[in-house]
Structure 1
């Protein structure tokens, strides 16, 4: 089979070639690698002509599903990441009889580390202090200790589990909410499952670790955000679409919560005029999964997904 990556990244070209040589070519398959940042549908179809499947880097534009109408040989779209819906209209692709797969749990450690980094930066006002010292000033505003504080984790997947583990190392007390609570999951995480209103009202820190789906879109409503304590910290390294961001920004502008750490926005890059930049707000450029280690893992699993498909097995399928 012939697989094509249209929106490849130059620094991963050699690694992709190595994986293709060891994982695809011995089985009679190959990967064509192109490096076009955000091709339109015409150009995408031109490069993908004759392909049996696509490998999408997916961070520099949305996949034009109409490409599949022009390239009827394509039977699988593989996404190099977890939140495939951000780059691919999954229902539109599946309606054409094309499978969609992603790379789950390839960056749990990296995302958990940045979550804790954002939490610490907000709690101790690190970016504010950095700006103050660079400006030749010596103004110190009180931060917050985390030891003994309650961490409310929204979600109970692999990233949430690693955040919970690291938070315990800081002396925090984690609780958790999930759409699928069971005694077995609670025991595995070592946490109590609570309802969302209680989690928001009682936690000193709330951190989001959910995928964005139609069921979770806007889940973190203005009502829930309004339950946060005046000295609470809010962290989001999941997806901005989970949250009523206007309500969150309003809380920050009014200093109705202590602060927030955000790695995700809608749109991306964000509209700076909409952000409460004078608040205790620490920002990152959707970088939680971006480390030297993680993309190699994602690329290997993504190519393995294609190899499995060529062998008649569909793994890591996404259906919504």
Structure 2
């Protein structure tokens, strides 16, 4: 019997009974904390043969605490929190779940666009205070939307936007040029996108800074930025300054730097509440996405523990 450590909050929390699937394959699921605190995880890692890991860090120290570990299955797409080099040195396979939550995140990105353009959260707050005065919003179809990162999620956003009718720009140096016009999208360089778009939505991998003081100085006044990707793509203090002087009309995001420890983020300042929309990592939280991510990660774990090749390996 293999011991599978699961540290994603939502693993097996959808319609599929993944605990039963693991048991049927002869393995036991053991739960661990999602924040991946090493002191708390060390006793669990000591006996783990596999690790279905959430968004917390997976460091060399974590791997050293897991002498039996054969696979780290990232519950999601991004692997920047995993020390891939350390895993490779120890012969530990790393996998992820590409495309499993792409539709869910694309839906959420478009939802945040509409919430920002039509001032929906602010309207709800004002009505609850007894204020029924009208604030005028903007239509999505009248905007130029810039998609930063044109992988599965970015392309899913473009397909959803097509029904609204905006002009769509996208920047991604790694996607073949023919994929852009096929979805009714104009391919542009990143700086041109920031200069030209009324609404910018981020779908790029972490580990880079895309929104900083320089880029914010060049955006259209009154632009909106949506971030359902990674917090480190954005310099939060610079965004807060751009909101305060009305260069940005709104920042809508599914993540903040530090996340649950981000109470000191400048974007949560009370004076910016009308211009900032933050959701608590809801992008991938649909029943369908949870089932997809859980099923793909568990299937790869079961394969590796049976000495078979996983379907979704990640190269160092």
| TM-score computed with the length of structure 1 as normaliser | 0.87
Q: Distance in 2 between matches of 1:166 and 1:208?
A: 15
Residues 145 and 268 of structure 1: CA distance in aligned 2, closer, same or farther (over 3 Å): same
Q: Distance in 2 between matches of 1:37 and 1:55?
A: 10
Residue 227 of structure 2 is aligned to residue 232 of structure 1 = no
Query: Map of 1:141-180 to 2, 5 A cutoff?
Result: 141-180=135-174
1:257 maps to 248
Residues 103 and 137 of structure 1: CA distance in aligned 2, closer, same or farther (over 3 Å): same
Q: Distance in 2 between matches of 1:228 and 1:112?
A: 23
Of residues 75, 85, 91, the one that matches 2:85 is 91
Residues 36 and 247 of structure 1: CA distance in aligned 2, closer, same or farther (over 3 Å): closer
Bigger shift: 108-117 or 271-280? 271-280
Query: Map of 1:129-278 to 2, 5 A cutoff?
Result: 129-213=123-207, 217-269=208-260, 270-272=262-264, 274-275=266-267, 276-278=269-271
1:19 maps to 21
Shift of 1:298: 0.8
Instruction: Give the unaligned 5+ runs of structure 2.
Output: none
Instruction: Give the unaligned 5+ runs of structure 1.
Output: none
Cα RMSD (Å): 2.4
Q: Is the 8 A contact 1:156 1:177 kept in 2?
A: yes
Q: Is the 8 A contact 1:264 1:286 kept in 2?
A: yes
| TM-score computed with the length of structure 2 as normaliser | 0.88
Q: Distance in 2 between matches of 1:19 and 1:298?
A: 14
Residues 273 and 175 of structure 1: CA distance in aligned 2, closer, same or farther (over 3 Å): closer
Residues 95 and 243 of structure 1: CA distance in aligned 2, closer, same or farther (over 3 Å): farther
Residue 30 of structure 2 is aligned to residue 33 of structure 1 = yes
3-state SS, counterpart of residue 281 of structure 2: coil
Bigger shift: 37-46 or 222-231? 37-46
Shift of 1:36: 4.3
Residues 245 and 94 of structure 1: CA distance in aligned 2, closer, same or farther (over 3 Å): farther
Q: Distance in 2 between matches of 1:223 and 1:156?
A: 23
Q: Distance in 2 between matches of 1:9 and 1:183?
A: 38
3-state SS, counterpart of residue 155 of structure 2: helix
Q: Count matched residues.
A: 309
Q: Distance in 1 between matches of 2:222 and 2:131?
A: 26
Q: Distance in 2 between matches of 1:95 and 1:139?
A: 62
